[in-house]
Amino acid sequence: MTPNQDHPFTCSREPGRVAVLFEGHEIADSDDVLLLREADGPPVRYLSRADVAMDFLHRCDKVTRCPYRGEATHYAIYRDAKVIEDVAWSYERPPPGFGQLAGRIAFHPEHVDFKRMGLTPAETRALNVDDVVRHTDSGAGRSQAEPWTTNVAMPDDAAWEGDDIRDDQGGQTLDRPYQGTGSI
């Protein structure tokens, strides 16, 4: 069976890096991730096996068959004295049209968290710094952006009255903690 108009598939490379976390532990980190979208289903990430900590995954006896992608082998995770069955799967020999998935690992999202890690080097080079950094000084001595509104009033001498603040060196009580330091 091949994809058709009633059951379309698209496969694209996901930009940036993706980390896969199992209970907060990173078990994969890859910038080689394929994103497969099937009909109306949610997208599925297929990571390069080389970027997955395969020491934590063990092949299960479970094998399933998809009429489009072929036979999938399933994996359990062994981590922190826990064994969770059917955490991931892989198509070792997919049929024509799905060859790019061969040997890649996909994870069930109910067992792991996916974390986008940032941009690829090519995406970083393509960025315009003015789109990322908000300049506050053009070098001409004036701001290129509107000043922020203050969130505090000027320091109030009365606010320090009665505070018991001690100097680290002599153990003296200071009236104002910054007095004599050159700070406000």
CA distance 92 to 8: 22
Pairing mode of beta strands 44-47, 105-107: antiparallel
Q: Which tens digits make up the pLDDT trace of 102-158?
A: 999 999 999 999 998 776 666 667 766 665 555 555 556 565 666 667 666 655 555
pLDDT at residue 46, rounded to an integer: 96
